Amino acid sequence: MILSLAVFVVILVLSIPSAVIFIPLAAITGNVKPLYLAVCFIVRAGYFVAGIHFQVKGLELVPRDRACIFMANHVSNLDPPALISRIPGQTSAFAKRSVFNMPLFGYCLKLAEYIPVDRGGNAAGAQLKVAEAKRLLDKGLHITTFVEGTRSRDGRMLPFKKGPFYLAMETGAPCIPVSIYGTETLMAKGKFGIKPGTAHIIFHAPVNPGDYATRDELSQAVREIIASDLPEWMRT
């Protein structure tokens, strides 16, 4: 708990001057990149203070000339900031609508063009989110999604949601499978305490949606690739 408090203090201390400088700058100029980079730096500083080290592999496989859809498994609250802060370029992501109501943080998500989603939403709402994601891909932003839709309680892979694969088939954007493990022991689901240690983020080679006849076939292919670099016990 002391370690978690120390991380919170460091993030707070770094966030205040960053917010004062970069949020007005982004709002006035429409350029969110400096704010985005500042947040990524703060995230990494927080992990450093926590004693959490990430071994990252496969970044050289990520295309630099077009927007991609990053598809990762999800085992801890540590996953989203760790992954997003390491993706080359700038990424948008799907986030629960409730976090957009958080003071300041929610406004930053809006500036960064994150996409709010409702759990249990209807088909019409899902189509609107896909259309928004397509607009951002066309704009050159990556899309990051955790394809299980929620964190796994025990680290084992859950069934994948269909939405990300519908988006991939609609846009033809390369899918980048990402395997994450180790964070489930550093901050488990339902826990606030953080433990120091090592976790792993593995970027895989792009998967071309056009090579698959259906989104179910694409989903199965991405699942097999993500599972291939996870510990055996997490694969089922």
For residue 25, what pLDDT band results from cuts at 50, 70 and 90? very high
pTM value?
0.93
Q: How confident is the model at residue 45 (pLDDT cuts 50, 70, 90)?
A: very high
Least confident of 28-37, 64-73, 98-107: 98-107
For the chain, the structural domain boundaries read 52-234
Nearest to 85 by CA among 119, 135, 48: 48
pLDDT digits over 99-130, tens only? 898 888 899 999 999 999 877 666 667 788 88
Q: What angle do CA 141, 146, 151 make, to 5 degrees?
A: 150
How would you label 93-128 residue by residue, b for 16+ Cβ within 10 Å and e otherwise? bbbeeeebeeeeebebbebbbbbbbeeeeeeeebee
CATH pick for 52-234 out of 3.40.50.720, 1.10.3720.10, 3.30.9.10, 3.40.1130.10:
3.40.1130.10
Tokens of 57: 């592999």
Give the separation between CA 143 and CA 133, rounded to whole angstroms. 7
CA 74/CA 82 separation, integer angstroms = 11
Indicate the pairing of strand 197-203 with strand 175-181: antiparallel
| pLDDT given at position 68 | 98
